Structure 1
Amino acid sequence: MKENVNSIKSAVYESEDMKMRDLAYLNTSCKLIYLDSMVDKKLIERNIIEPLLDCKTETVPEAVIKNAEYSRTSDLEAIVDSLLEGSCAFVAEGENTVLLMPVAASDQRAIQEPENEHIIKGAHDGFTENLNKNIFLIRRRVKDPGIRIKSYVLGSKTKTNVSILYIEELVDHGPLEVLFQRMDAIDVQELQSSGELEELIEDDSYSLFPQLLSTERPDRASSYLLEGKSIVIVDGSPHVLVSPITFFSFYQSPDDYNSRWLIGSFFRLIRVFSFLVAVCLPAIYIAVVSFHSEVLPLGILYAIRVQIEYVPLPPFFEAIVMQLVLELLKEAAIRLPSPIAQTIGIVGGLVIGSAIVEAGFVSNTMIVVIALTAIASFVAPVNQMGTGARILAFPIMVAATFFGFLGIVLSIAALLIHLCRLESFGKPYLSPVSPMHYKGMKDSFIKAKKKNNTLKQT
């Protein structure tokens, strides 16, 4: 026993939070070893120490302890990993194996509604940082025995648990096999969040378009699971990844399915249109003012010309400066505490905007254009897509500055070519538009109407 204890102490570098408790179980010298910072001492006392001390008959420790889980091993690496995850090791004299019992401290936050994905009508629970709790939230909604779970441990230093969930009868096995291959190929020292994993397994990490959908909503993840997609859950992260995914999935919201199909379809079309506005509106303004003023009615043209007459900056630099100011204000509002962030938003939106216009650096029309662009980008239910749309606006503005409408058309053509070539785990990113699949169109741009097949129409 002394040799086994010394081996364990050496493996964890004799950490000061490693505690040992001497026991005499049926006249046999024993030790309990655990990391004080990782365990629940009440569980150790109630489930392990008291049953062992009260036992008076010859029996193995496994038959006495009250812990729900336990295992025996002689692998030193497995013992150390279990201690780091919150297990307690029972070492006995004359035994060449160690009894491991999970007694990890539970300090996870309660289930709450995600702050980044608010909805009007629907469930108000969200994923947490606990892997098992997240699986519970999905299984509570999808009570299908066909759900399969494949687990990984990634990161040689962090040893992060990752689980992939899918329904055997519904999943498309082609993208699933691609996902398994990429997970097997991961060899990193650390993995602490789903964002890091997303970058390691996506098809094109240089693209501004995310190829996995990240969500904190169990209802959303469950609906994709029932559509035949796979769910990737990373322990320690409340963001769950969905694969494969398409462009139009980023503009769908659970509110669509909680509303009547006409209302859901209307708002979904508005969201898809908002992407075009966020990407093209500043460039269209620059092209009209710089090259194609004849497309405007005379009254509007006169009003714009009067406003930009004394503005020293060209329209391109106006747009760039205001876009950057918008991004700075957004970042400041995110990083600051909520009460201060609200003040910054009001000051930035009203005081600074009015001061810039009155100083003559930017025209009123440009303020309106940038405001509409920002609102259109914030419409996207998934923040990743909105941020990508705002960044895409910059190169299109450059093209509009030099070539006018021709530059915008060429930029949009290049963007469409990129989207047509982009894939998510072997599936076309623009499906069902490219390649065209008419049956799949019914739930992309518009919400498909639910039908009760057994209900007779009268």
Structure 2
Amino acid sequence: MPYDELQETLAENKQTLEKVFQHTEDLQVQMMTLQEKKALVCSLKTMADDQKIVQQLTTMEAGISLKEMSEKVTNIQDMVEAILLGNTVVLVEGKQEGIVLQTAQEHERSPDEPENERVVQGAHNGFIENLDVNIHLIRRRLKQEDLHVTYKTVGKETENNVAIVYLKGKANEETIQYIEDQLEVMQQKKVRVIGELVNYLLRHVKTIFPKKLYTERPDRTTAYLTEGKIAILMDNSAIACIVPISFFAFFQSPDDFNEQIYDGTLFRFIRLASFIGALIFPATYIAIITYHFEIIPFEMITLVKNSIETVPFPPFFEAFIMIVTIELIREAGIRLPSPIGQTIGIVGGIIIGEAVVTAGLVSNVVVIVIALTAIMSFTIASYEMGNTLRILSFPIMVAAALFGFVGIVASTLIILFHLCKVKVLNTPYFFPLAPFDFASIKRILFRIHRETMDVKKK
């Protein structure tokens, strides 16, 4: 992009500007008279608000001196950058400077509750694609003077604004410094979405489990900030990324704190138990049918035997076929509009399930097992953790098909050893179980009032 100075002749400036913008058809370059002087009004009609342009030009024509306009540009580079932001630049004949008018369009949606993080009780607002609005939503909830916001610009072409939000004195200073240093490096890289940015920050962490927690809820973000976490937000993105995060954070919900202590604790254990169940339930079916048929209660042996004896496939392929079918229905439901997606999920599941059983391709038992597995997986609010669950279930199924219960135990131990080893930004991922911290276990696994904890400390 040229850095040439603006010329005194409007025709030359117009020609240069059109050349820089490759003669795009949404570039508006209008010649008009302002305060009895020839002027060139330049803007992008897809970025600038026509009503704002008319209002500000009318104000200028009414008698405000051009010298009183505070923001000016003197070269083509600054002029182009101002226009790309939605501003309007006015060039006056005989002057080698342009006046910048703030005319950017505003198409903001309201901060409605996120679709994928709904709660029964509590706040019902969420982040939007405006960075300043998102910081405002956080500050409204966290009225503390030690709430610190650091702005960075990343992306060689997109130049996205990024905010690092944390509480001074609670967040780890070394982690903050590392993030800031990495964002400085990313100024020369291509960054389009916040996922690319965070994946680059955590590129040294080798694990299939989610290394960061995404949330669209301001209340959830502020809760993590008070615990010493760091929130990374990007302009044009409606999510906040929380780092560093632990494994057990993915099983907590804002609803836990709006329920009674026992209810909140019970729901946390249900989510955690559902994760474990969805991980090993299909593998357990495969192991029992293949190697450990003797553990089935005597009263059920006939039912199970009648169900599987006509199936031409071994248990592993039965489960594999049903899991793939469920995944196809799930993906189809996500991509389609909501009313159609819900219909596909319900009708497709019933029809396909009934059809494969009637055709004798799978047994009734495996349909029940996979249906319960799918229901348990839906209790996990995190989309990334849900993806991890689905990926890990396949190797455990293979281990069960090869070695029975021994394969399930061995593969589960490998996962546990891996979780104990992983660190995210020098923070143990499996804390408070590894390293073991009983006090933190009570706080994370059990829903305990903060006031109760404070009294016990005293």
Do the two structures share a fold, i.e. TM-score over 0.5?
yes
| Identity percentage of aligned residues | 37
How much has 1:94 moved relative to structure 2? 5.2
How much has 1:29 moved relative to structure 2? 4.4
Name the counterpart of 1:444.
Answer: 444
The alpha-carbon distance between structure 1 residues 26 and 338, as it changes in their structure 2 partners (threshold 3 A), is closer
Name the counterpart of 2:171.
Answer: 171
Name the counterpart of 2:421.
Answer: 421
How much has 1:174 moved relative to structure 2? 2.4
Paired residue secondary structure (2:115): coil
CA offset digits 1:325-378 (Å, max 9, x no partner): 000000111112222222212222212111211221111111111111111111
1:142 aligns with 2:142: yes
The alpha-carbon distance between structure 1 residues 420 and 314, as it changes in their structure 2 partners (threshold 3 A), is same
1:273 aligns with 2:273: yes
CA offset digits 1:367-399 (Å, max 9, x no partner): 111111111111012121112111110000001
Which aligned pairs between 1:318-397 and structure 2 lie closer than 5 A?
318-397=318-397
Counterpart code for 1:36: K
Paired residue secondary structure (1:60): helix
Counterpart code for 1:43: K
2-side partners of 1:120 and 1:353: how far apart? Answer: 32
2-side partners of 1:123 and 1:87: how far apart? Answer: 36
Name the counterpart of 2:154.
Answer: 154
The alpha-carbon distance between structure 1 residues 388 and 402, as it changes in their structure 2 partners (threshold 3 A), is same
CA offset digits 1:387-415 (Å, max 9, x no partner): 21111100000011111111111111211
How much has 1:92 moved relative to structure 2? 3.6
1-side partners of 2:255 and 2:26: how far apart? Answer: 49
Contact 2:60 2:66 in 1 (8 A): no
How much has 1:165 moved relative to structure 2? 1.5
Paired residue secondary structure (2:128): coil
How much has 1:95 moved relative to structure 2? 4.5
Paired residue secondary structure (1:104): coil
How much has 1:315 moved relative to structure 2? 0.5
Contact 1:286 1:397 in 2 (8 A): yes
Contact 2:205 2:422 in 1 (8 A): no
Contact 1:199 1:205 in 2 (8 A): no
Contact 1:158 1:189 in 2 (8 A): no
Paired residue secondary structure (1:153): strand
Contact 2:14 2:29 in 1 (8 A): no
1-side partners of 2:231 and 2:362: how far apart? Answer: 47
How much has 1:253 moved relative to structure 2? 0.4
Alignment RMSD (CA, Å)? 2.4
CA offset digits 1:135-160 (Å, max 9, x no partner): 22212211223222222332223222
Counterpart code for 1:34: S
Paired residue secondary structure (1:185): helix
Corresponding residue to 1:52 among 57, 60, 64: 60
Name the counterpart of 1:84.
Answer: 84
Name the counterpart of 1:32.
Answer: 41
Counterpart code for 1:45: V
1:408 aligns with 2:408: yes
How much has 1:298 moved relative to structure 2? 2.1
Name the counterpart of 2:3.
Answer: none
1:256 aligns with 2:256: yes
- Name which of structure 1's ranges 81-90 and 398-407 shifts more when overlaid on structure 2: 81-90
Paired residue secondary structure (1:186): helix
Name the counterpart of 2:218.
Answer: 218
Paired residue secondary structure (1:152): strand
CA offset digits 1:232-262 (Å, max 9, x no partner): 1122221221111111111110001111222
CA offset digits 1:81-134 (Å, max 9, x no partner): 221121122334555443333321111222211111111001111111222222
How much has 1:218 moved relative to structure 2? 1.4
- Name which of structure 1's ranges 141-150 and 425-434 shifts more when overlaid on structure 2: 141-150
Name the counterpart of 1:67.
Answer: none
The alpha-carbon distance between structure 1 residues 243 and 454, as it changes in their structure 2 partners (threshold 3 A), is closer
The alpha-carbon distance between structure 1 residues 212 and 324, as it changes in their structure 2 partners (threshold 3 A), is same
1:18 aligns with 2:27: yes
Name the counterpart of 2:110.
Answer: 110
1:180 aligns with 2:180: yes
1-side partners of 2:179 and 2:145: how far apart? Answer: 22
1-side partners of 2:432 and 2:274: how far apart? Answer: 20
CA offset digits 1:261-306 (Å, max 9, x no partner): 2211110011111111111111111111111223332223343223
TM-score (norm 1): 0.90
How much has 1:197 moved relative to structure 2? 2.6
How much has 1:6 moved relative to structure 2? 4.4
Paired residue secondary structure (1:16): coil
- Name which of structure 1's ranges 175-184 and 226-235 shifts more when overlaid on structure 2: 175-184
CA offset digits 1:8-47 (Å, max 9, x no partner): 443323332222344555555443321111011111222x
Counterpart code for 1:321: I
1-side partners of 2:302 and 2:394: how far apart? Answer: 27
2-side partners of 1:59 and 1:79: how far apart? Answer: 17
2-side partners of 1:325 and 1:384: how far apart? Answer: 20
Counterpart code for 1:337: P
Paired residue secondary structure (1:45): helix
TM-score (norm 2): 0.90
How much has 1:53 moved relative to structure 2? 0.9
Unaligned runs of 5+ in 2: 1-7
2-side partners of 1:246 and 1:421: how far apart? Answer: 12
* Equivalent residue pairs, number: 446
